[in-house]
Structure 1
Amino acid sequence: MSRSATPAVAEPQSGSVKAVPTRRRAAFVVGLLFCFMLINYADKVVIGLAGVDLIHELGLSKEQFGLVQSSFYWLLAVGSVLGGLLMGRVRARWLLAGAGLLWAVSLAPMTGSVGFGLLIACRVLLGFAEGPATAMATAVTHSWYAPEKRALPTSIVVAGAGFGPLIASPALTWVMLRFDWHAPFTVLCVAGIAWVLTWVFSGGEGPMGAARATASEAGTILPEQVPLRALLGTRTVIGLLVLFFTSYWSIAVKVTWLPLYLREGLGYTAGQSGTLVALPYAAAALFQVLVGFASAALSRRGASSRVARCLFAAALAGVGGLSTVGFALLDRGIAQLLLLVVGASLTSAGYGIAFAAISDVVPARQRGAIMGVVVALYSLGGIIAPLVLGGLVESAASAAAGYSHGFLVIGVLVVVGAAVSALLTDPERDAARLAAAH
């Protein structure tokens, strides 16, 4: 059967005419989810922006600050799995609102004086609440679009992760310099509450999330339900998990340590660091949207999901890893800054299309659960990476040498992960096998 002759999603069982979403409604929800991811990553990066002043006020060592950064990820996996499982049981309107409200609650104590223990507790709660954010946002996005149209809106939503720090880094740095390091947390707390109120009255899941049978990008009709073990055991899901896990090392370090690296490792001022740290996020946001357009164009030209999504994402991560190795070996200068931006942005540029590839092998009703598990597993890299880098910086002869060694290790890891992912992933093959077996 040809691609054009195969329906992308099974017809809704009742009220099919009313169930079809308007483009305007779908686009509005994508905009809200973009803001959801934007706030999510602004919440992540703010601790790094306030890091120098926070360390000074609380008298923390670099290893202790590494522990603070790592604590964000301690329950992130638990929150991700729980949120993914609840996606099929709780309406998206209330589930995402609850997550956003927890974000605000975790930030509230940071608006005043805190001790080391409370600081850790706030970061653990924030990590738990933000754990399922990416999985929930992408699953809801996919509920509004047919398979062949998911790459671009998913990339736009994921691009919010780049725009969050891009906007937050200079803006929150200005707020911090104008007032104190507590003020940025107040701003983010208020922004989180405002988003929750908007989402409750205007957000929600699309009708395609309730389809009983879905088609992959290749046109293979997926069964209504497949055992989770079978889904997680497909080579495509495993390959994408490897890609996510290894590249997330780079993302976690960028969020947590990059502001300090720019100030302590490379000698930039606080104001310069606040501006420069935004560059990788600007590039990441731009690349994510462009990658979404490019992937959609490849699909329209007949490219398989393996090529348009999986191999494309792996290639981007591989180039990003090589760039990370390059800037770790160079001294401060324009060339190093350019490679830093490319390395920190390309490793995450393919996330949107990679998540779209997961939906090519996962039935609609199980996307939230599978994506939650995938996010939970790859987020473990976020626990390890900040601790490893913090230990290397603490034990090195100089901060610059410690940072360079740490980024070199991360760059090599990303390249290896990209190569493994490229060898394993093939959504068309795995979708056909699942359909035949069930």
Structure 2
Amino acid sequence: MSRTLTDGTAVPGAARDDGAATKRKAALVVALLFCFMVVNFADKVVIGLAGVDLIRELDLTKEQFGLVQSSFYWLLALGAVLGGMLIGRIKARYLLAATAALWVVSLAPMVGSVSFGLLIACRVLLGFAEGPATAMATAVTHSWYAPDKRAIPTSIVVAGAGVGPLLAAPALTWVMQRYDWHAAFTVLLVVGIAWVIAWLFAGGEGPVGTGRAQRAAGPALPDSLPYRAVLGTGTVVGLLVLFFTTYWSVAVKVTWLPLYLREGLGYGAGETGTLVALPYAAAAVFQVLVGVASAMLSRRGATSRTARTLFASALAAVGGLSTVAFSLLDGGTVQILLIVVGASLTSAGYGIAFAAVSDVVPARQRGGAMGVIVAVYSLGGIIAPLVLGGLVDSAATPGEGYAQGFLLIGVLVIVGAAVCAALADPERDARKLSAMSGAGPEPSPEPSRQSDD
């Protein structure tokens, strides 16, 4: 909207200035949300990095440590659904700040000595608080960009999931070697407080979109639809299967990969800190490159099915094949390369997959729908660490148990990719939902929200 003087005369260039200011604010919000995801995944990976020392200090079995890792996901689904439903009802500036503040509270006891029970309680609280993080970050990102412009910023934000452990692995390993594992949690606590302050000053939610952007994107979606209709589309079901199966790989990468490198493959603590960072570095790079490639495909006329869902499925399938391959090989450079590819490509399509979700979900319901999606796929995070821990404990050697676990995960990811490729078709489902609502052929504008500014 252009500015006017008191006599009603339009100010020259005001509309252009408003548009430039919105773009700058959108870029700032994306940067803050990227940092939000960085902190989110650094919090996740620290327990794995501290695993060997923590197991020794608390005298835990591998099965108990698997329970600790699994406990992070016990209330994650509940947090994801509740947090997703609050998006749009509470201003994003305050909602995300409160969410990150809960992370800080859950980390505080870890600065000192903890019992096994308190350790479990802290992980449960952190999981509950981090449950809606991806849904919140994605929904807020989409509120600043038109549907056909979302692939790149969404991929940048989701890339924070790779950068967080990438920075945390070597940095926190150094801190733990110089001091102890408790010091690593102190660092994360301070970083979390700093992010909350920055977000309160500079964060917020933007306009959802424009009528022009919606027309460019395809059939108009109504303001709201029954959740059973939205969540029952082939696109959402297919993406749910893809997220659920690939999240086995994500969860194990966060929880067990450091121990696998040390106990299964025999690397030292310093080498492990460096090697753990490689899959996250690759994941962060792939996330951004995939977003750029998807946007280029869209500009050249590719459908959302091709540029988003089939693309994401293909990436996951390659990651699954790499996971199967490294589980069958002995240690060495080739195996490390396959570990990096398998652990990074399985989740490289998350940014474009979430963009595809927004193609078939009405704007006002995106937070809730994404919360449900995160809740469902987080179940993989509960199951995977327990399954791998049980296999390691029951195998003749730790290396054999790890190999069996990663082989299972690789096959599961390949199956999930195939199911998603067969079911997901955003254009088809958007047309069905539009017809169900009785919307006419001319798309209506997406509802706009008041900015948090």
TM-score (norm: length of structure 1): 0.95
Structural mapping, 1:300-379, within 5 Å: 300-379=299-378
Q: CA deviation at 1:88?
A: 2.1
Instruction: Say if 1:49 and 1:173, in contact at 8 Å, map to a contact too.
Output: yes
Instruction: Say if 2:146 and 2:213, in contact at 8 Å, map to a contact too.
Output: no
Structural mapping, 1:81-100, within 5 Å: 81-100=81-100
Task: State yes or no: 1:22 paired with 2:22.
Answer: yes
Which residue number in structure 2 is paired with residue 205 of structure 1?
A: 205
Structure 1 segments (4+ residues) deviating >4 Å: 16-21, 211-214
Q: CA deviation at 1:18?
A: 9.4
In structure 1, give the amino acid aligned to 2:94: W
In structure 1, give the amino acid aligned to 2:233: T
Question: How far apart in 2 are the matches of 1:55 and 1:165?
Answer: 21
Aligned residues: 423
Question: How far apart in 2 are the matches of 1:299 and 1:167?
Answer: 32
Question: How far apart in 2 are the matches of 1:217 and 1:186?
Answer: 48
Question: How far apart in 1 are the matches of 2:139 and 2:283?
Answer: 21
SS in structure 2 opposite 1:348?
coil
SS in structure 1 opposite 2:410?
helix
Q: CA deviation at 1:138?
A: 0.3
Which residue number in structure 1 is paired with residue 247 of structure 2?
A: 248
Question: How far apart in 2 are the matches of 1:55 and 1:369?
Answer: 38
Question: How far apart in 1 are the matches of 2:362 and 2:48?
Answer: 38
Instruction: Say if 1:45 and 1:165, in contact at 8 Å, map to a contact too.
Output: yes
Question: How far apart in 2 are the matches of 1:70 and 1:245?
Answer: 15
Question: How far apart in 2 are the matches of 1:98 and 1:255?
Answer: 24
Instruction: Say if 1:216 and 1:359, in contact at 8 Å, map to a contact too.
Output: no
Instruction: Say if 1:323 and 1:343, in contact at 8 Å, map to a contact too.
Output: yes
Q: CA deviation at 1:368?
A: 0.3
Which residue number in structure 1 is paired with residue 416 of structure 2?
A: 417
> Taking structure 1 as reference, are residues 212 and 77 closer, same or farther at Cα in structure 2, changes over 3 Å only?
farther
In structure 2, give the amino acid aligned to 1:307: T
In structure 1, runs of 5+ residues without a counterpart are 1-15
Question: How far apart in 2 are the matches of 1:313 and 1:288?
Answer: 11
Instruction: Say if 1:287 and 1:349, in contact at 8 Å, map to a contact too.
Output: yes
> Taking structure 1 as reference, are residues 19 and 244 closer, same or farther at Cα in structure 2, changes over 3 Å only?
farther
> Taking structure 1 as reference, are residues 414 and 404 closer, same or farther at Cα in structure 2, changes over 3 Å only?
same
Task: State yes or no: 1:182 paired with 2:196.
Answer: no
Question: How far apart in 1 are the matches of 2:22 and 2:313?
Answer: 33
Which residue number in structure 1 is paired with residue 398 of structure 2?
A: 399
Question: How far apart in 2 are the matches of 1:182 and 1:51?
Answer: 12
In structure 2, give the amino acid aligned to 1:110: M
Q: CA deviation at 1:428?
A: 0.3
In structure 2, give the amino acid aligned to 1:368: G
Larger Rg: 2
In structure 1, give the amino acid aligned to 2:48: G
Which residue number in structure 2 is paired with residue 136 of structure 1?
A: 136
TM-score (norm: length of structure 2): 0.91
Which residue number in structure 2 is paired with residue 120 of structure 1?
A: 120
Q: CA deviation at 1:212?
A: 9.4
Q: CA deviation at 1:22?
A: 2.0
Instruction: Say if 1:213 and 1:223, in contact at 8 Å, map to a contact too.
Output: no
Task: State yes or no: 1:262 paired with 2:261.
Answer: yes
Which residue number in structure 2 is paired with residue 384 of structure 1?
A: 383
Question: How far apart in 1 are the matches of 2:87 and 2:416?
Answer: 29
Q: Percent identity?
A: 76
In structure 2, give the amino acid aligned to 1:170: P
CA deviations 1:334-354 (Å, max 9, x no partner) are 110000000000000000000
Instruction: Say if 1:216 and 1:431, in contact at 8 Å, map to a contact too.
Output: no
Instruction: Say if 1:68 and 1:123, in contact at 8 Å, map to a contact too.
Output: yes
Question: How far apart in 2 are the matches of 1:398 and 1:181?
Answer: 27
Question: How far apart in 1 are the matches of 2:243 and 2:284?
Answer: 17
Instruction: Say if 1:80 and 1:131, in contact at 8 Å, map to a contact too.
Output: yes
Q: CA deviation at 1:214?
A: 7.7
CA deviations 1:128-169 (Å, max 9, x no partner) are 000000000000000000011000000000000000000000
Q: CA deviation at 1:219?
A: 1.7
Question: How far apart in 2 are the matches of 1:207 and 1:434?
Answer: 23
Instruction: Say if 1:140 and 1:206, in contact at 8 Å, map to a contact too.
Output: yes
Question: How far apart in 2 are the matches of 1:215 and 1:250?
Answer: 35
Structural mapping, 1:148-163, within 5 Å: 148-163=148-163
* RMSD of aligned residue pairs (Cα, Å): 1.6
Which residue number in structure 2 is paired with residue 6 of structure 1?
A: none
